Amino acid sequence: MECLPNATSQIVVYVNGKEVIERQPDPETTLLYFLRNKLHLTGSKLGCGEGGCGACTVMVSSYNREEDVIRHVAVNACLTPLCSVAGMAITTVEGIGSTRTSLHPVQERIAKAHGSQCGFCTPGFVMSMYTLLRNNPTPSEEEIEAAFEGNLCRCTGYRSILEGYKTFAKGCCKKGKTCCQNEQNTDNEQGSPQLFDASEFTPLDPSQEPIFPPALQV
Ligand code: FES
Ligand code: FES
């Protein structure tokens, strides 16, 4: 068990591809506190602090030696003890893209679909969707809805978030075609305007995602 209170204990985690060593970790430190207060990665938000809102969602990746597979799981960092992710790779919203470099398609689509207002919930939605896509680049619409069961938004009413993200679903936004979500929501009886133009979206390219740190597979 890591996190023993002695002078030699330390844990190693990889955060957004970089090795981080925490010496004498406090067993009560949460992953969220560590990310925000020690690494100053403040993209993951502290909302409820008790696993109810999903604003703190990050992706935790680990290597299963017996099955020789890498697993990606979306977790509530506010409930996750830092010590429980020793030897694992953490990806936060800062690790997938930014306005300073380039946005990841998951970030771009929630923005262009008007799925972010105050923005407090957005990093959590982004990381839930990103984790789903890392495990399955062509999810069904039902799988996308299920991925957000732990994310709350008090501003948008969810429609724009879901419609933006359902463009990742099987059969949607194929090259040269209009997105099926757009088709459903354009020129309806009430004459509501379409929320976005799916042809502007950057395609998802799973081959461009960061690799799992090789050091954690040894
Ligand atoms: S801060 Fe609300 S689930 Fe973590
Ligand atoms: S955009 Fe404000 S809580 Fe979701």
The parent domain of residue 177 ranges over 105-198
Rounded CA-CA distance 176/184 in Å is 17
Final residue of a domain: which of 73, 95, 117? 95
Same domain, 124 and 186: yes
pLDDT of residue 6: 59
Count of beta carbons in the 10 Å neighbourhood of residue 215:
11
Quick one: which ligand is closest to 77's CA? 1
pLDDT of residue 218: 82
Q: Are 96 and 104 in contact (CB under 8 A)?
A: yes
4 falls within a domain: no
**Is there an atom of ligand 1 within 6 Å of 87 CB?**
no
Rounded CA-CA distance 16/59 in Å is 10
64 falls within a domain: yes
Same domain, 81 and 141: no
pLDDT of residue 174: 47
Mean pLDDT by 10 residues, the chain (218 residues): 63 98 96 98 98 98 95 98 98 96 97 97 98 96 96 96 95 53 51 83 94 94
pLDDT of residue 4: 58
Candidate of 155, 158, 159 to mutate for ligand 2, largest count of ligand atoms within 8 Å of Cβ: 155
Closest atom, ligand 2, to C-alpha of 119:
1
pLDDT of residue 5: 55
CA of 126 to the centre of ligand 1 (A): 14
Rounded CA-CA distance 99/116 in Å is 15
Domains identified in the chain, total number: 2
Q: Hey, which bits of 65-170 come out as E strands?
A: 69-76, 89-91
pLDDT tens profile 107-158: 999 999 999 999 999 999 999 999 999 999 999 999 999 999 999 999 999 9
pLDDT of residue 175: 46
pLDDT of residue 159: 94
Quick one: which ligand is closest to 49's CA? 1
Same domain, 30 and 62: yes
CA of 33 to the centre of ligand 1 (A): 12
Same domain, 109 and 194: yes
